[in-house]
Copies of this chain bind each other. A is one copy, B any other.
Amino acid sequence: MPQQRARLRLIDVAERAGVSIAAASRALSGSAGVSDAIAERVREVAAQMGYVANVHARTLAGGASTSVGLLVHEIGDPYFTEIASGVLRVGAQQGLTVQICHTGRDPENELVQVRTLIANRVRAIIIAGSGFVDARTQASVKQDLQAFQETGGRVAVIGRHHLGTDAVLPDNTAGGRSITEHVLSLGHRQIAFVAGPRTLTTVADRLAGAAQALEAAGLSIEDIPVIEEAFTREGGTQAMQRVLDDHPDVTAVIALNDDMAIGVLAALRARGMAVPKDISVAGFDDVAVAEHLSPALTTVRLPMAEMGEQALLLALKQPSARPRRRTTTHSLVVRDSTAPPPRPKR
């Protein structure tokens, strides 16, 4: 192996420019204390030599960290994909590098990843996705995050509360109410919910909104089937199979996220049921493909990319004494997968 000592250092460009290493540093990092003439020259020489400062040395020496961390359950989940896209966008725009980690929906792993990010001295950590209810690891995470913040690190979460940090919160409750009202207004009374584990705050909140809408219509969520499966496409399929088997009278299904709704649609197709003729289906999130499904999915739009942007922007601000909250907008998007219920067969 040849290598390793070829890389340019600050001193190389300083020498070439005929100035001290200190001056060169100031010129390149844009700090004050150099004449414009020198600054200009140094930058020229550096560009010409193709010099790029070593981020590790820079950070170690006291410069602010130039990277941020993003924690998602799984980047392949379209909800997180779009959030990541937003985070990446503002990261690039601010000259920050973004490190993305999977938690794989595993609390233990979430803790490991948080620690890795802290070890990397990232400037900020963005945590996306519902929290878990594993009290023990959650406490550890909270504690580590606390320490991280005390030493100058910044944290923002998306879609979860209870971590004592700045947060971007989709209005899941209002959204849940909204989509449920829509389905009710169509005339449906035999409704089923296809949900992820209630222990996810996202699920709990959306369900709470649904309960409000039902109540206003004189119904009680207690009397309505809420099928819990994994908060994924496969979970949606399984849940829908259960609905079909156990509640054949259902005329409308509300899935608590689009991914599950896609699974629901698949299950229905497999059973030869027409949507929305035989049964209506609604989702939640409005992921990019929702409008391209067939039938195009009625859902609640959440500005996911924007949520990612907001979260990073929030984290980059001066810390405030009390955690800040940003509640995002949501809007009902009615497409082709919902319609009035079929006339009762009897």
Contact = CB atoms under 8 A, between A and B. Distances in A.
Interface of A: 1-4, 6-7, 50, 52-57, 59-60, 66-67, 74-76, 78, 81-82, 84-85, 88-89, 92, 97-102, 113, 115-121, 143-144, 147, 150-152, 233, 262-263, 265-266, 269, 288-289, 291-295, 305, 319
A56 B59 contact: yes
B88 A75 contact: yes
> Which among A59, A97, A305 has the greatest number of chain B C-beta atoms within 10 A?
A97
A144 B294 CA distance: 46
Contact of A150 (B3, B97, B151, B288): B3
> Which among A56, A116, A269 has the greatest number of chain B C-beta atoms within 10 A?
A56
A144 B52 CA distance: 11
A119 B76 contact: no
Contacts of A85: 74-76, 102
Given A52-B118, A266-B292, 18 more contacts: A2-B150, A3-B151, A50-B143, A53-B119, A54-B119, A55-B121, A56-B56, A56-B57, A56-B120, A66-B120, A75-B85, A76-B85, A76-B288, A233-B288, A265-B294, A269-B294, A289-B293, A294-B294
Contacts of A144: 50
Given A152-B3, A294-B293, A102 B88 contact: yes
Contacts of A3: 150-152
Contacts of A84: 75, 100
Contact of A55 (B102, B120, B305): B120
A295 B102 CA distance: 32
Nearest to A72: B88
A266 B102 CA distance: 33
Contacts of A67: 99, 120
A143 B50 CA distance: 10
A57 B60 contact: yes
Contact of A116 (B97, B100, B151): B97
A48 to B, nearest CB: 13
Given A67-B99, A82-B76, A151 B55 contact: no
Given A53-B119, A76-B288, A292-B266, A100 B102 contact: no
Given A76-B82, A82-B76, A54 B50 contact: no
Contacts of A92: 101-102, 113
Contacts of A263: 292
A97 B75 contact: no
